[in-house]
Amino acid sequence: MSSLRLGPETNGGPSITATNASGLTRVALVNPRDSCIPIQDYAVYENLGLALLGASLRQRGYEVKIIDGYAECLSNEEVARRVAAFRPSVVGFTCTFQSYHDTQVISERLRDLLPGAHLTLGGEHATYAADSILSSSTAFDSIVRGEGEVTLCELVRAVESGFDLGTVEGLYRRSGDGVVKNRERRSIEDLDSLPFAARDTLARCAESGRPVLIGMLGSRGCAYRCSFCNANGFFRLGGGNSVRRRSPANIVAEVSQIYRDYARDLLRRGVDVELYFYDATFITKGPRSKQWAREIAEGLISEGVSIPFKAFVRADSFSQADDRLIDLLKRAGLVGVFVGFESATDEVLASFDKGASADQNREAYELLKRHSILETTNGFIMFGPYSTLEGLRENASFLLRTRQASYWNLSQRLQLFPGVRLLAKLEKDGLLLSQQDPCGVYSYRFRDPLVGMLAEALDWNNDPTVQHENSLVRYVKNTINYINRSCYNKNIYESTNINTARTRLETRFKKIGNLNHRIFNLFLDIALGGWSGRMFEKVRRTYLRSLEGELEELTVDFRTFLETFQSVNLEASQRP
């Protein structure tokens, strides 16, 4: 049984504080569904940010409900209905630039359903677009900037007690027609002091019937200062070390808990489960970082914890001298790394302040391929403001050589988020456009107008065939990797029938990559030849028909591969 009590006025107006029979203040944490993601072809995952915030709120005695529209495939109206039924006094949203408008719709609906509740927003995009969001919309009362655990707890306490919101560091808030910017909050230095993430959504993810991805953060921040990225500063807006790491023992303890409570049973049931370290750079080239990773691996092996895991790395994270470390990490469960290659040309890498070279990208690819831990896709920015037409051709060759020449990768433009350092360079060079739209991530011109024309012409990412290729190829490759691991464990990897089916799929991937590479070079030739819209459209139509045909064949080959694996697996299980 719950009750509502009207709290004292705060700077945001009267507040409604919801309590239950035990007197706990209620907080709802919300992640909207991202309608841009065809979730049927992707692993289902909980929102780690909300899980971390929920744990900190509970540690301080608040009642928390996490409502994840993505994980549970909920409409905006259903999310709003569930929030309203919980009757919280504070609603905390997270969003990306893609899901911002859905978040806004839900928040505006809650204005009617929960009048007086405090609606706040957080996350990286909201942090850097806070001024613009609060100035242009009344959907949110405040924005929690950067690292949110302490800030959100203090915000809830202020709303609950009627305290002045101006005392809450790390908060931007609306006041009248203006935006009040509180003092930034210094980073949390002792990450081991934080509670383990609240895994409320994980059980529901496990019931989805799809692969399950479990998120972790072993560290916060980044030692590098790539000009297109905010990772170096996001977690320490008010100061603090650029990188803070949890102790290996603390990380091993949480992974062990996840294994006991969730993953072990799922893995026994044959569910594809992966743990993903979302650290900006899980391992750097420094010896301290590698020792930290080594201790984590040794701890997981010692505890008998066996969850396949993946992580983000740089091209220079590993060298040829790291074979033993990579083998140790693989024994601990490492099955893939997502590498920030970004470009195949030194000129563009320099414009991004990447601190790595095109040669290092190539060497990293060969090393990680040899260890079979390269992910099915990696960080790559095909079109950036300083790209050249010849550089694009080099990029396309690199993607083909690394077997990642999907149309998606060949057409992606740099997303320019608010707050990145590249903005200043673009402004100086006269390439920056208006920054009024909080979701305007393509607000720049290209130094070469022909590159800009080509980038615009290739932006078909809403085309059903292009979306089908991106999601299907990634899904099939991830599933093959999962089944390959299962085959190793059951000693059937070298089965002749499975090898034949696997080879057919590899041949199909190669044909799709070659098709994409060939068409991309045709488009480049059209651009270099003075641009013919008529010719471009003719090539486009022919290409999409050919690609759809290849995807249909891929689906047939994939079904054959699955049936072959099931047959061989069944036969192996019946042997004495």
Contacts 24+ apart (CB under 8 A), 259-262: 259/305, 259/306, 259/307, 261/199, 262/199, 262/202, 262/203, 262/206, 262/214
Q: What is the pTM of this model?
A: 0.90
Instruction: Please determine, for residue 9, whether its predicted confidence score (pLDDT) is greater than 60.
Output: no
Tell which CATH architecture fits domain 2-181.
3-Layer(aba) Sandwich (3.40)
Listed residue (318, 253, 250) closest to 282, CA to CA: 318
The answer to whether residues 111 and 141 touch, using CB atoms and an 8 Å cutoff, is no
Instruction: Please determine, for residue 330, whether its predicted confidence score (pLDDT) is greater than 70.
Output: yes
Neighbour-count burial for 311-333, b at 16+ CB within 10 Å, e otherwise: bbbbbbbbeeebeebbebbeebb
Calpha distance 374→342 (Å, rounded): 15
Calpha distance 286→290 (Å, rounded): 7
Measured distance between the N- and C-terminal CA atoms of the chain, rounded to whole angstroms: 58
- Arithmetic mean of pLDDT, 101-130: 94
pLDDT for res 42: 64
Beta-ladder partners of 18:
4
Rg (C-alpha) for the chain, rounded Å, is 25
- Arithmetic mean of pLDDT, 23-51: 81
Listed residue (399, 525, 511, 411) closest to 466, CA to CA: 411
Tokens (6 digits) for 180: 């009040």
Calpha distance 113→222 (Å, rounded): 41
- Arithmetic mean of pLDDT, 128-142: 92
**What confidence category does residue 435 fall into, taking pLDDT thresholds of 50, 70 and 90?**
low
Find all residues with CB under 8 Å of 383, minimum gap 6, and list them: 392, 411, 412, 413, 414, 446, 451, 454, 455
- Which residue reads 């972790």 in tokens? 216
β-pairing, 219-221 with 243-245?
antiparallel
**What confidence category does residue 368 fall into, taking pLDDT thresholds of 50, 70 and 90?**
very high
3-state DSSP call for residue 16?
strand
- pLDDT by residue (tens digit) across 270-323? 888 999 999 999 999 999 999 999 999 999 999 999 899 999 999 999 999 999
pLDDT for res 24: 73
**What confidence category does residue 436 fall into, taking pLDDT thresholds of 50, 70 and 90?**
low
**What confidence category does residue 37 fall into, taking pLDDT thresholds of 50, 70 and 90?**
low
- pLDDT-wise least confident of 61-65, 116-120, 399-403, 416-420: 416-420
> DSSP letter at 262?
I
- Residue ranges of the alpha helices (H) in 275-322? 287-303
CATH 3.20.20.70 positions along the chain are: 211-375
- pLDDT by residue (tens digit) across 508-542? 999 999 999 999 999 999 999 888 889 999 999 99
pLDDT for res 532: 87
The answer to whether residues 171 and 144 touch, using CB atoms and an 8 Å cutoff, is yes
> What are the Cα distances from residue 173, in Å, to 83, 165, 176, 184, 401?
22, 8, 10, 13, 49
pLDDT for res 67: 97
Instruction: Please determine, for residue 6, whether its predicted confidence score (pLDDT) is greater than 60.
Output: no
CATH 3.40.50.2300 positions along the chain are: 2-181
Tell which CATH architecture fits domain 211-375.
Alpha-Beta Barrel (3.20)
Which of 165-174, 426-435, 462-471 has the highest mean predicted lDDT (pLDDT)? 165-174
pLDDT for res 193: 97
**What confidence category does residue 458 fall into, taking pLDDT thresholds of 50, 70 and 90?**
very high
- Arithmetic mean of pLDDT, 128-145: 93
